[in-house]
Amino acid sequence: MPVRQGRYTLVLPSAPGISGYAAVVGKKEGEGPLGSGFDYIYEDGTAGEKTWEKAESVMHRDAVSRAISKAGISPQDADVIFAGDLLNQCIGSTFGIRELGIPFAGMYGACSTMALSLAAAAACVDSRIAETAIASTSSHFCSAEKQFRMPLEYGGQRTPTSQWTATAASAAVVTKNEAKARIEKVIIGRIQDYGIKDANNMGAAMAPAACRTIADFLRDTNTSPSDYDLILTGDLGTVGTELLCELMMKQENIDISSVHSDCGLMIYDVSKQKEVGAGGSGCGCSGAVLCSEILKRLELGELKKVFFVGTGALMSSVSSLQSESIPSVAHGVLLAGG
Amino acid sequence: MPVRQGRYTLVLPSAPGISGYAAVVGKKEGEGPLGSGFDYIYEDGTAGEKTWEKAESVMHRDAVSRAISKAGISPQDADVIFAGDLLNQCIGSTFGIRELGIPFAGMYGACSTMALSLAAAAACVDSRIAETAIASTSSHFCSAEKQFRMPLEYGGQRTPTSQWTATAASAAVVTKNEAKARIEKVIIGRIQDYGIKDANNMGAAMAPAACRTIADFLRDTNTSPSDYDLILTGDLGTVGTELLCELMMKQENIDISSVHSDCGLMIYDVSKQKEVGAGGSGCGCSGAVLCSEILKRLELGELKKVFFVGTGALMSSVSSLQSESIPSVAHGVLLAGG
């Protein structure tokens, strides 16, 4: 049964295990540094569909199906699926998983959705709300660009601070028994709003939320950055990463720079794949990095303790047009090798 | 600790209590049959704001603040808030509650969001994931109409099957101890898709999901409609209600008609307020009916067992333009008098 540690952290004494995980990505992500570790690379971003939204749903379903299959279960064995994405009314998820017949709890955390869903799945399994819970998410560069920014055909120039929405879907199956990695603690974040209004600089908007959650977690658990092999944010990119390290030093007097990495800087080679600007973003980005490289290294024992912090910018194109600032949130999951 | 009953139902042995609840609504809802029972009626639908979205956020925050205050706690006492709404990227919720500093888990269930959030809050409290959890949601006729259908200024004629998005926000505070009503069981629904494509007939699209969840729940709990004072769906309207009763009879051989009511038919007087068409809808509709009339009657002992079933249509305007059908889901919460 979960036990609270400090004000915001939840310890999961049974340390629910991830028994299956999968990540499928688009061509550009396949060409990135982690390319060989993904379960499938869609060379054709349409996935054979007529629209980008339908393509995203196909990838979402594919990731969930692969994770279920790798966990050695069938969809009927799952008690609940926590899923969400960036598309209006989360149609990437709902149309993706509608045929699976799994009880569906929709989640919204923008790019933090994988951390939020995984935290929910783990808390459910630890507390016996579910025997088997799934967390999944997706994003697609083309559906996101069209929805949040400009028609693709417009070919607008991007600012250097802007991030590239990853075409990726990922899923993890959480159960009590088998484990390739275990989830020991989770923390649900509080919304932070530093008044950033530039929708082309999400990293800056999200860094304060990451700072808040990491600081809360370290204080709650009475630990320091050196207790972790990796503090992994997703996705701050170059601008947000620099800001996060600075905020952690100035506000909290904590130096995380030696153990910090960011999924947005791992999925692409920012120095070579210039078009991605400040790095990757989108629900699928941190999900895909987690459900390939990170979980694999935890499974192999190369990593022992990873604090995964998903960050989400809680805005819409309407809120930005109405001159609103960008509130953000970050949720954390402490992973340990299986 | 939660215990599973049958395949899909979760029994919450501690029966978490609702210690505070509130509903605020717009003018038209205030003029409806339940008008005198709401906590506040916004005669001005803008709530003094410049945009409909900002107005919805103001109402959302207002409902949460009132529920917290009526529960006799402060925002810092809440361990988590489950919140969601219909707006793209759920900005009604996120901008509404951003200043409260409560750990925020965003949920998406379209019009089923109040049932989903309340189920999550109750499961968390029963399993000690949280001591105090809040569920909240909102919708606004003008922000929804603008986003899903036509600019308000266009003045388009509505079909008789279309439902009227309620301008309403609601919140409930769930804790282990005090109780005006208790949550005994919850069920998370499975997505149903009967191929309905008419976005002006949500009731028809959502009825199969309500049927599925009610049938699953009755079978899991080995109960019949006569065991409940009320099976309350939200929101099917006139068309969906008729279809639900028919589906329950034909597919499941269960007659729910004598104990069934629908929030969409309670919030307005459909025979007099002709402009609402087939009845109310929107996240705020079922939330506001629950967090006024229903919880009050449970508190007073006039109702003893209410099975509240929130229904959600999981589409977006983009999916409809792409000729997709409308998948739906329904989540259930069994409420008992305090």
pLDDT in 10s for each residue of chain B, 338 residues = 899 999 999 999 999 999 999 999 999 999 999 999 999 999 999 999 999 999 999 999 999 999 999 999 999 999 999 999 999 999 999 999 999 999 999 999 999 999 999 999 999 999 999 999 999 999 999 999 999 988 888 888 888 899 999 999 999 999 998 788 999 999 999 999 999 999 888 999 999 999 999 999 999 999 999 999 999 999 999 999 999 999 999 999 999 999 999 999 999 999 999 999 999 999 999 999 999 999 999 999 999 999 999 999 999 999 999 999 999 999 999 999 97
Q: What count of CB pairs under 8 Å joins A to B?
A: 171
Q: Note the pLDDT of residue A279.
A: 96
Chain B CB contacts of A6 below 8 Å: none
Mean local confidence (pLDDT), A322-328: 96
CA distance B133 to B12: 15
| Cβ separation A318–B101 shorter than 8 A | no
Structure tokens at A241: 């990463």
Amino acid at the residue B19? S
Q: Is the pLDDT of residue A320 over 90?
A: yes
Mean confidence (pLDDT) of chain A: 96
Chain B CB contacts of A315 below 8 Å: 89, 91
The residue in chain A having the minimum alpha-carbon distance to the alpha carbon of residue B13 is A129
Q: Is the pLDDT of residue A179 over 90?
A: no
Q: Note the pLDDT of residue B225.
A: 98
Q: ipTM of this model? A: 0.97
| Cβ separation A191–B97 shorter than 8 A | yes
Q: Is the pLDDT of residue A178 over 80?
A: no
CA distance B235 to B212: 15
Peptide bond into B235 cis (omega under 30): yes
Chain A CB contacts of B1 below 8 Å: 1, 127-128
Mean local confidence (pLDDT), A77-102: 97
- A162 closest CA partner among A146, A143, A147, A149: A149
Give the closest-approach CA distance of A199 to chain B in angstroms.
Answer: 14
Buried/exposed code over A123-151 (b: 16+ C-beta within 10 A; e: otherwise): bbbbbbbbbbbbbbbbbbbbbbbbbbbee
Q: Note the pLDDT of residue B156.
A: 82
**Mutation target among A82, A89, A131 for the B interface, most CBs of B within 10 A:** A89
Chain A CB contacts of B188 below 8 Å: 80, 103-105
Give the closest-approach CA distance of A290 to chain B in angstroms.
Answer: 20
Percent of chain A's residues with pLDDT above 90: 93
Strands A305-313 and A230-234: parallel
Q: Which residue has the tokens 């609702």?
A: B18
Give the closest-approach CA distance of A302 to chain B in angstroms.
Answer: 31
DSSP 8-state class, residue A222? T
More confident residue, A158 or A260: A260
Does the predicted TM-score (pTM) go above 0.90? yes
At residue A265, φ and ψ (nearest 5 deg) are -100, -5
